[in-house]
Structure 1
């Protein structure tokens, strides 16, 4: 099924999780409209902005983990630990 683009299972799961996250954010937006707030960042952010920042941070944490530890699972651990502060205080 995934042979048309030579995707691996982890890659497909990664993009599926992003699609599910965006879908969940859309449903959450309809149920409870977002409140623009200003946290530690020098500009006001919405829930979607914080989701995007979390995705970018996760990408950089994974690159760092691969370069520093030669193991992407450390990037996953660091990313999961960073999601809460990003959504809480960003």
Structure 2
């Protein structure tokens, strides 16, 4: 099904995960409208804003991980998920 893009299974899993995450956030926003609040980011953000900022921050962490270290990528992925989770919860 994904042969036309020459995607690997991990790449397809990431994009499918993003689609599921965004769809889930849409359903959650419909059931419980988001409320803007101030966290450690010092700007008013709602759930969707924090998700977007967290995804961008995770991408920066992963790019930095690749550029700076030779450690395994699964450690970098864990750090990126942790950064996104912290921003999502307390950002």
Q: TM-score, normalised by structure 1?
A: 0.89
The 1-side partners of 2:82 and 2:42 are apart by 22
The 1-side partners of 2:72 and 2:58 are apart by 14
- Which deviates the most, 10-19 or 73-82? 73-82
Cα pair 1:63 1:75 within 8 Å, conserved? no
- Say if 2:84 is the partner of 1:79: no
Q: Would you tell me which structure has more strand in proportion to its own residues?
A: 2
- Correspondences of 1:49-64 after superposition (within 5 Å): 49-64=49-64
After TM superposition, give the deviation of residue 70 of structure 1 in Å: 5.1
Higher relative contact order (CA 8 A, sep 6+): 2
Q: TM-score, normalised by structure 2?
A: 0.88
- Which deviates the most, 75-84 or 3-12? 75-84
Q: Which runs of 5+ in 1 are unaligned?
A: none
Q: Which runs of 5+ in 2 are unaligned?
A: none
Aligned residues: 90
The 2-side partners of 1:57 and 1:69 are apart by 20
- Correspondences of 1:23-38 after superposition (within 5 Å): 23-38=23-38
The 1-side partners of 2:64 and 2:74 are apart by 11
